[in-house]
Amino acid sequence: MDVYNLQVGDTGDLVKTLQEKLKILGFYNAVVTGVFGVSTEVGVLAFQKEFGLEESGVVTQEMWDILFALTSVATPISDHNTLKLGDRGSEVRELQLKLRSLLYYTGPITGEFDLETETAVKRFQFHNDITTNGIVDNTTWAFIESLYGNLNQCVLDQIGDDGSSNNGGSGTYTVKAGDTLYSIARRYGVSVDSIKRLNNLSSNVLSIGQVLRLPSSSDNGGSDSSSPSNIRYVVRAGDTLFSIASRYGTTVDSIKRLNNLTSNVLSIGQVLLLPAINQGGDSSSISYTVRPGDTLFGIASRYGTTVDSIKRLNNLSSNVLSIGQVLRIPSTSGSEYITYTVKRGDTLFSIASRYGTTVDELKRLNNLSSNVLSIGQILRIRV
């Protein structure tokens, strides 16, 4: 991609793109404005330092190439119209209902895109790292649909788990506002026809509160999804085949082969089969999920190992990491504990959850009398 250099003082959409991508990667925490100011320069310098580039504060072609390689995603798909201030109608009503369910809108459901609705949209966009302009375009709709679907996704109650020859039982689903047979079928990896057949439906019309029986994937004509060696994953906004493969310790080719994919394009809500992570792996290693700001050197230092050891164990050819990537970390032989340096936003609960321990255990091990942490504080964590 040919992009001209950016530096302090520049403005425009390209600066917005830069800020959005730095924000996704954890190098920019301010509002996306399209103005290359001090905050943007700080983010650029931190990025350049992280990836071994010349720390000039100027965005060069080389930096753009890395940015796009780390953040390129499939364009979110939405069948809604773009909405903005002054619009009205059923889609605005749907927007207000969904933003209310997601706790961004507290006003009346009027079907009119007024200032209160625009404020709710901007708040949603800002919290989800979308360009904050108050216009509900394809990308904003896709994020709303994704988060609304996750909010209303119900846990299937398995039937017939007596170990008989029935390959997995059916579950039930209660229809919510905005649901369609297509969206439900896609969410659970089955077909519209199989849902209609199981529920004796003669049309695609649903009513809110209606309880549907859902077929198992094996009833849908597929055998792979019921295999104990595979797991199911629902594509979310921002996912790429590379990021999913990295997160689950597999390869892009393996996912494409298992799902009969002919391209790398994904759509939000798409159900993928993933090869299960080998549970019989090396007991002398632990797993770590890469977070914004992580480097191989920082991770190696935290776990008392070396960059080369991590690269060798994970077959890495470079030092570039992606957020969400799962790494195997060699355990320090004979060591019962690791150390962790508290970062901004950390809590005892989040740290305990990340390392598979409890808040009480962390407090006891570190002689803490309260849950208050300070940035830079060193904690011992039992492994």
CB 299, CB 287: distance < 8 Å: no
Alpha helices in 234-294 (DSSP H): 241-247, 252-259
* 107, 115 contact by CB (below 8 A): no
Task: Please tell me the distance from the alpha carbon of residue 336 to that of residue 295, in angstroms, as a whole number.
Answer: 23
Instruction: Write down the pLDDT at residue 73.
Output: 45
pLDDT in tens, 90-120: 999 999 988 887 778 888 999 999 999 999 9
- The pLDDT of residue 336 is 58
Which of these, 320, 324, 249, lies nearest to 282 by C-alpha position? 249
Question: What pLDDT, on a 0 to 100 scale, did the predictor assign at position 149?
Answer: 63
CB-based contact 224:230 (threshold 8 Å): yes
293: left (phi over 0), alpha (psi -120 to 50) or beta: left
pLDDT averaged over 10-residue windows placed end to end, the chain, 383 residues: 76 89 79 90 87 88 81 55 92 90 84 93 80 87 72 36 35 73 70 79 75 65 46 73 72 78 73 62 62 78 76 79 76 61 82 80 80 80 71
In this predicted structure, what is the pLDDT of residue 10?
92
Query: Where do we find the tokens 């649901």?
Result: 179
Location of structure tokens 């070396």: 306
Which amino acid is it at 251?
A: T
| Residue 200 and residue 188 in contact, taking contact as beta carbons nearer than 8 Å | no
Report DSSP state, residue 153: P
Q: How much is the pLDDT for 9?
A: 92
Structure-token match 């207000």, residue found: 96
Separation between Cα atoms, residue 15 and residue 59, nearest integer Å: 10
How many CB atoms are located within 10 Å of the residue 346 CB? 17
> What DSSP character marks residue 277?
P
Q: Which domains does the chain have, with CATH numbers?
A: 13-71 (1.10.101.10), 90-152 (1.10.101), 336-383 (3.10.350.10)
pLDDT at 129: 66
Give me the pLDDT at residue 308, please.
79
Q: Does pTM surpass 0.75?
A: no
Write down the pLDDT at residue 285.
64
Residue 7 CA, distance from chain mean position: 30
Q: How far apart are CA 44 and CA 9, in angstroms?
A: 14
Strands (DSSP E) found in the chain? 171-174, 211-214, 230-234, 271-275, 285-289, 326-330, 337-341, 378-382
Read out DSSP for 4-40?
Answer: --B-TT-BSHHHHHHHHHHHHTTS--S---SB--HHH
d(CA 332, CA 347): 25
How do residues 119-136 score in pLDDT, each as one tens digit? 999 988 887 767 888 999
How much is the pLDDT for 171? 66
